[in-house]
């Protein structure tokens, strides 16, 4: 077993652990914290079903962002839709036999890589060109975009420039999952791609990527306009009533 | 007085997103509350020793109490969608008035003390210590947010800067940095039952005078009762309605509606205030304590319904929070189990034909409607989706012949704040208030030019006071602003209903 294989195997275990444990802790924190008042933003649905529909529109279509800014919406949505497709396509490295739907998505998945880059480029350009967004951008905003761009670029490199033995990569991934390690090909682009992907996973719970779970816990979006029928008395607020 | 000289911005034909004017509003700062004012409502009198540690501890406490704060401080991706949505940014160009930049004032401190990245890589994520300079920035810029929630409509995660502003104000109050206007008023409402500090006997006198005036005007014996046990309806209205113009015309309007419909109603001197400034300073406890007076009054007078007058933030508190704060309202008439808005009551009476309006009485008026942000984005009405937009307009259109809405991107949930909400309605903030009103003034000018609009109706006491003050800066007549029930009061038939 080569040193590269051992290092990357450990790297992926560590990154996965950080992602899962970190995210679980964050989500548990959100779930445990009470929302003591009814604060949905108009137009608020009046029922739970309405809330589910609103959330679905926000997550799948970025409805509010569309109202706010068409360019950001275009680039942002393009990036995320492509990312979703790319991630879905990657399932082929983790499943045996490959699910039919994943196999079906393979051809489109290739274009998704380019679409993702285009979206990221647009989002990044805004950080330089639009004065207001330049003002609010931090180093970490740029680094996060750089990370994603590099992941996409190294991925596309393997497809179009220097091919990697994907059968071996799949064996490595399945080996990780079955605790039966298999050798990892030591190709430059692959090692870069995998290292950055692991870094992204590890960073996830400590970065603004928390917007992904956050949107589901946002009280302005996940509450129904039901204040007249429902008291939301938080435990700490109930204490006040005893006084 | 106090306010520095400034230039009223010109009204442009098409709204333009300003280029950044750094520190343009760094000089805008409301008076701080005196020791006495802070202590009267349970806050430390002045900046406490070890304030920094106490502020951080308070932030930790709030993070455990409010999911909104916890999620909002983590979730922002700096996408910038909210940057051009705040009237204070649009009016002043100060980048710290962009909602995300305002949030960042708290978020950078949160990052520093509560997150891994901020503890170890502060520069990378823009984390900062809570220094005196940061506290000063908080005091300035969280007093340039009217908690109007416009930014929240556009944020992809619904991040509501108002929640962050409230948290910042709560933290500041907890270390002795209170704002004079809000904290002084909260003291008054605890002491005397209303924000104006008007004692019971004076209230009774004022109401009597109003009755006489109505009698002279109309010949009808329209009553404005106070503390009448056994009345069916308790009306809770902003205390400005008792005194200020144009507010008082709406109070007369409510009285005429009850008179014409034959409903027995009363005001209460114990709860002679709908406004609840506990909301503005983000204090659940203060908000609850202020609201409790209303429950007490309702129980004591034995009323079967509670109706709230024209007040934006009061309606947010009443509609969205009362049930949680001071409910349940199981003592009310099961047909009206929740406190109602005066517009819900009037609309219902009009539709049932229980009151009649003569639209011609308002023929000299060409009317538009300013959706008050707290009603538009923080409450509902009528138990129907978008009821808070439909019902007031339905009443206006029943009361007058000429009505024109302002541009769609400036009304309904996209409405701009008047510029004076959230505890900013104080003279030393005049520059901020005038500039913050710019987007509304531009939208108003468009309908004035196009349709000859000469009356802007609204259902908020603060909106009315704010517009009375800022309209002249933009060369509009200050009497253009008025209440929805002012229109109703002028059009209603007081005699027999046939
Ligand atoms: C529930 C799933 C998700 C939703 C609803 C969502 C939604 C959004 C929205 C609305 C934006 C703002 C517009 C934009 O800048 O693109 C955004 C930004 C961003 N998202 Fe997501 N996202 C999700 C998951 C993810 C995941 C899994 C990643 C990465 C692994 C990600 C990475 C990013 C990044 C890096 C930005 C900032 C782009 C910039 O700097 O301009 N998102 N997201
Ligand atoms: S709540 Fe209103 S005033 Fe405050 S930042 Fe948002 S848009 Fe501006
Ligand atoms: S719209 Fe929301 S996520 Fe985007 S910058 Fe503003 S607060 Fe942050
Ligand atoms: S005064 Fe009116 S517009 Fe201004 S904050 Fe209050 S409700 Fe909103």
Q: What is the mean pLDDT of residues B25-53?
A: 97
Q: Is B65 within 8 Å of A234 when comparing Cβ atoms?
A: yes
| H/E segment holding residue B393 | helix B387-399
| Average per-residue pLDDT for chain B | 96
Report yes or no: A243 at the B interface, CB cutoff 8 Å.
Answer: no
Nearest CA in chain B to A63: B156
Query: B204: pLDDT confidence band, cut at 50, 70 and 90?
Result: very high
Instruction: Check if the beta carbon of residue B127 is closer than 8 Å to that of residue B108.
Output: yes
Kindly provide the residue ranges of all beta strands, DSSP E only, lying in B325-471, ordered along the sequence: 340-341, 367-369, 455-458
Query: Which ligand gives the minimal distance to the CA of B94?
Result: 2
Q: Which ligand is nearest to the CA of B100?
A: 3
Residue B263: how many CB atoms within 10 A of its CB?
16
How far is Cα B343 from Cα B393, in angstroms, rounded to an integer? 10
Query: Residue B244: is its pLDDT beyond 50?
Result: yes
Question: In chain A, positions 162-221, which contact chain B (CB-CB < 8 Å)?
Answer: 206-208, 210-211, 214-215, 217-221
User: Residue A46 and residue A168: Cα distance in Å, rounded?
Assistant: 53
Contact list in A for residue B153 (CB cut-off 8 A) is 41-42, 64, 67
| CB-based contacts of B151, cutoff 8 Å, min separation 6 | B82, B85, B86, B99, B100, B159, B160, B161
The residue-averaged pLDDT of A154-174 equals 92
Mutate to test the pocket of ligand 2, among B28, B83, B141, B148 (most ligand atoms within 8 A of CB): B148
pLDDT (mean) for B439-466? 97
Q: How far apart are CA A144 and CA A200, in angstroms?
A: 8
| Test mutation, A45, A54, A139, A218, chain B, max B CBs within 10 A | A218
Compute the average pLDDT of residues A25-38: 97
Residue B4 — very low, low, confident or very high, per pLDDT cuts 50/70/90?
low
- Rounded mean pLDDT, A106-113: 86
Ligand nearest to the CA of B155: 3
pLDDT beyond 90 at A241: no
Tokens, residue B250: 């709406």
- Is residue A67 classed as helix, strand or coil in its secondary structure? helix
C-alpha–C-alpha distance, residues B274 and B388, integer Å:
18
- Residue B96 to residue B138: CA distance in whole angstroms: 10
Domains defined along chain B, listed by start: 35-177 (1.10.1060), 193-404+453-491 (no CATH)
Instruction: Collect all residues of chain B within an 8 Å Cβ-Cβ radius of residue A126.
Output: 80
Q: Output b/e per residue, B247-259; b: 16+ Cβ within 10 A.
A: bbbbbbbbbbbbb
Q: Who among A42, A208, A220 is closest to B77 (CB)?
A: A208
Q: How confident is the model at residue A36 (pLDDT cuts 50, 70, 90)?
A: very high
Is the pLDDT higher at A110 or at B355?
Answer: B355
pLDDT of amino acid B102: 98
- Mean pLDDT calculated for residue range A2-23: 96
Decide if A132 and B95 are in contact by the 8 Å CB cutoff: yes
Name the residue at shortest CA distance from atom 8 of ligand 3. B76
Contact A64 CB / ligand 1 (< 6 Å)? no
Largest Cα–Cα separation, chain A: 72
Give the nearest ligand 2 atom to B373 CA.
2
Q: CB B156 to CB A64 under 8 A?
A: yes
Nearest residue in B to A130, CA atom: B80
pLDDT for position B2: 45
Distance B382 CA to ligand 2 centre (A): 26
Q: Is B228 left (phi over 0), alpha (psi -120 to 50) or beta?
A: beta
The answer to whether the CB of B96 is under 6 A from ligand 2 is no
CA distance A51 to B88: 31
Q: Which residue in chain A has the smallest CA separation from B336?
A: A228
Select A3-242's CATH number: 3.90.1010.10, 2.140.10.10, 1.20.950.20, 3.40.50.300: 1.20.950.20
Residue of the nearest CA to atom 3 in ligand 2?
A: B145
* Contact: A211, B157; criterion CB under 8 Å: yes
Residue of A nearest to B77 (CA): A208
Give, using CA atoms, the residue closest to atom 6 of ligand 3: B82
Q: Token match 């739907």: residue?
A: A101
Touching check for B193 and chain A: CB below 8 Å? no
Q: Can you tell me the mean pLDDT for B293-304?
A: 96
Q: How far is the CA of B156 from the centre of ligand 1 (A)?
A: 10
Question: Hey, which residues 372-431 in chain B have their CB within 8 Å of chain A?
Answer: 376-378, 380, 383, 385-386, 388, 412-413
Q: How confident is the model at residue B16 (pLDDT cuts 50, 70, 90)?
A: confident
Give CA–CA dist B466/B2, Å, rounded: 18
Secondary structure (3-state) at B352: helix
Residues of A in contact with B72 (CB under 8 A): 218
**Contact assessment for residue A192 and residue A154, using Cβ atoms and an 8 Å cutoff:** yes
Contact (CB<8Å) A131/B19: yes
Determine contact: B115 vs chain A, CB below 8 A.
yes
Tell if the CB–CB gap between A68 and B17 is shorter than 8 Å.
no
| CA A211 to ligand 1 center in whole angstroms | 7
Query: Who has greater pLDDT, B496 or A117?
Result: A117
Ligand 3 center to residue B152 CA distance, Å?
Answer: 9
What is the predicted pLDDT for the residue at A181? 93
A130 CB near a chain B CB, below 8 Å?
yes
Residue A107, pLDDT > 90, answer no
Burial track B371-401 (b if 16+ CB lie within 10 A, e otherwise): bbbbbbbbbbbbeebbbbbebbbbbbebbbe
Nearest CA-CA distance, residue A224 and chain B, Å: 11
Which residue, among A96, A98, A97, has the nearest Cα to A88 in the 3D structure? A98
Instruction: Report the 10 Å Cβ neighbour count for A52.
Output: 13
Q: Do B388 and A42 touch (CB under 8 A)?
A: yes
Residue B496 — pLDDT band, cuts 50, 70, 90? low
pLDDT band at residue B224 under the 50/70/90 scheme: very high
Best mutation target, A123, A204, A220, to test chain B (most B CBs within 10 A):
A220
Q: Could you tell me the distance, in angstroms and rounded to a whole number, from the CA of residue B160 to the centre of ligand 3?
A: 9
Nearest CA to ligand 3 atom 3: B76
C-alpha of residue B338 to centroid of ligand 1, in Å = 40
Q: Which two tokens stand for residue B372?
A: 């008050």
What would the mean pLDDT of B248-270 be, rounded to a whole number?
A: 97
pLDDT digit string, tens, across residues B329-350: 999 999 999 999 999 999 999 9
- B315 contacts in A (CB within 8 Å)? none
Is the shortest distance between the CB of B417 and ligand 4 below 6 Å? Answer: yes
Facing A221 at nearest CB: one of B115, B157, B380: B157
Residue B3 has pLDDT above 80, yes or no: no
Q: How confident is the model at residue B13 (pLDDT cuts 50, 70, 90)?
A: confident
Delimit the domains of chain A by residue range: 3-242
pLDDT of residue B1: 43
Q: What is the pLDDT of residues B301-326, one digit of tens each?
A: 999 999 999 999 999 999 999 999 99
Chain-chain contact of A33 with B70 (C-beta, under 8 angstroms): yes
Evaluate: CB of B151 within 6 angstroms of ligand 2: yes
B128 touches chain A (CB under 8 A): no
pLDDT at B150 over 90: yes
Residue A148 near residue A200, CB atoms below 8 Å: yes
> Which ranges of B93-179 would DSSP assign to H, the alpha helix?
99-114, 116-120, 122-125, 132-141, 150-154, 161-174
Report whether pLDDT(B221) > 90.
Answer: yes
Does residue A203 surpass a pLDDT of 70? yes
| Nearest Cα residue to atom 8 of ligand 4 | B373
Distances (CA, A) of B341 to B306, B310, B326, B382: 9, 8, 17, 9
Give percent above pLDDT 70 in chain A: 100
**Residue A215: its pLDDT value, please?**
97
């Amino acid at each position: 077993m080569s040193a590269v294989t051992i290092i990357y195997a450990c790297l992926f275990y560590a990154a996965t652990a950080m992602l899962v444990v970190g995210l679980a802790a964050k989500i548990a924190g959100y779930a445990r914290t009470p929302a003591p008042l009814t604060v949905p933003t108009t137009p608020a649905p009046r029922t739970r079903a309405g809330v589910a529909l609103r959330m679905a529109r926000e997550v799948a279509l970025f409805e509010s962002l569309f109202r706010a800014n068409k360019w950001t919406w275009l680039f942002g949505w393009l990036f995320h839709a492509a990312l979703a497709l790319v991630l879905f396509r990657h399932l082929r490295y983790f499943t045996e036999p490959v699910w039919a739907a994943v196999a079906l998505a393979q051809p489109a998945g290739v274009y998704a890589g380019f679409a993702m880059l285009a979206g990221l480029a647009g989002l990044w350009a805004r950080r330089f060109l639009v004065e207001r967004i330049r003002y609010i951008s931090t180093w970490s905003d740029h680094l996060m975009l750089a990370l994603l761009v590099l992941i996409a670029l190294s991925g596309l490199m393997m497809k179009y420039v220097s091919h990697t033995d994907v059968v071996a990569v799949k064996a490595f991934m399945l080996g990780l999952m079955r605790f039966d390690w298999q050798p990892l090909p030591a190709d430059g682009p692959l090692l870069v791609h995998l290292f950055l992907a692991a870094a992204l996973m590890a960073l996830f719970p400590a970065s603004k990527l928390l917007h992904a779970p956050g949107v589901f816990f946002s009280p302005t979006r996940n509450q129904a306009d039901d204040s007249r029928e429902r008291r939301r008395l938080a435990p700490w607020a109930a204490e006040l009533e005893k006084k | 007085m106090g306010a520095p000289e400034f230039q009223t911005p010109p009204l442009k034909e098409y709204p333009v997103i300003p280029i950044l004017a750094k520190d343009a509003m760094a000089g805008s700062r409301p008076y701080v509350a005196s020791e006495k004012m802070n202590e009267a409502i349970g806050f430390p009198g002045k900046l406490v020793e070890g304030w920094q540690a106490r502020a951080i501890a308070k932030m930790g406490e709030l993070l455990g109490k409010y999911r909104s704060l916890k999620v909002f401080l983590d979730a922002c991706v700096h996408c910038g969608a909210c940057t051009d949505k705040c009237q204070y940014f649009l009016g002043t160009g100060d980048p710290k008035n962009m909602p995300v930049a305002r949030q960042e004032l708290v978020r950078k401190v949160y990052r520093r003390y509560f997150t891994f990245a901020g503890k170890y890589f502060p520069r990378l994520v823009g984390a900062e210590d809570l220094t005196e300079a940061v506290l000063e920035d908080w005091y300035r810029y969280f007093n340039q947010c009217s908690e109007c929630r416009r930014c929240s409509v556009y944020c992809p995660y619904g991040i509501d800067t108002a929640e962050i502003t409230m948290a910042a104000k709560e933290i500041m109050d907890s270390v002795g940095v209170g704002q004079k206007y809000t904290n002084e008023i909260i003291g008054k409402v605890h002491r005397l039952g209303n924000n104006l500090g008007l004692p019971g006997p004076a209230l009774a006198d004022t109401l009597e005078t109003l009755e006489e005036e109505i009698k002279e005007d109309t010949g009808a014996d329209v009553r404005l009762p106070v503390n009448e046990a056994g009345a069916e309806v308790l009306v809770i209205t902003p205390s400005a309605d008792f005194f200020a113009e144009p507010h008082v015309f709406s109070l007369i309007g409510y009285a005429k509606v009850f008179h014409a419909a034959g409903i027995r109603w009363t005001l209460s001197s114990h709860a002679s205030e709908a406004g609840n400034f506990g909301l503005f300073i983000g204090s659940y406890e203060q908000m609850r304590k202020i609201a409790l007076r209303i429950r007490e009054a309702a129980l004591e007078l034995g009323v079967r319904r509670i109706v709230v007058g024209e007040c934006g933030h009061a309606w947010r508190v009443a509609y969205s929070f009362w049930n949680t704060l001071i409910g349940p309202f199981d003592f009310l008439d099961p047909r009206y189990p929740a406190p109602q808005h005066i517009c819900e009551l009037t609309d219902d009476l009009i539709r049932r034909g229980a009151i009649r309006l003569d639209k011609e009485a308002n023929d000299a008026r060409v009317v538009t409607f300013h959706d008050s942000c707290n009603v538009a984005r923080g409450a509902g009405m009528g138990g129907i989706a978008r009821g808070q937009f439909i019902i007031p307009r339905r009443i206006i259109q029943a009361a007058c012949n000429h009505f024109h809405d302002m541009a769609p991107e400036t009304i309904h949930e996209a409405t701009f704040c008047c510029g004076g909400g959230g505890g900013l309605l104080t003279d030393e903030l005049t520059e901020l208030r005038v500039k913050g009103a710019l987007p509304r003034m531009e939208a108003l000018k468009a309908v004035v030019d196009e349709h000859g609009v000469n009356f802007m109706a609204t259902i908020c006491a603060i909106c009315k006071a704010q517009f009375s003050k800022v309209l002249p800066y933009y060369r509009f007549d200050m009497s253009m602003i008025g209440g929805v029930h002012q229109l109703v009061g002028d059009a209603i038939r007081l005699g027999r209903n046939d």
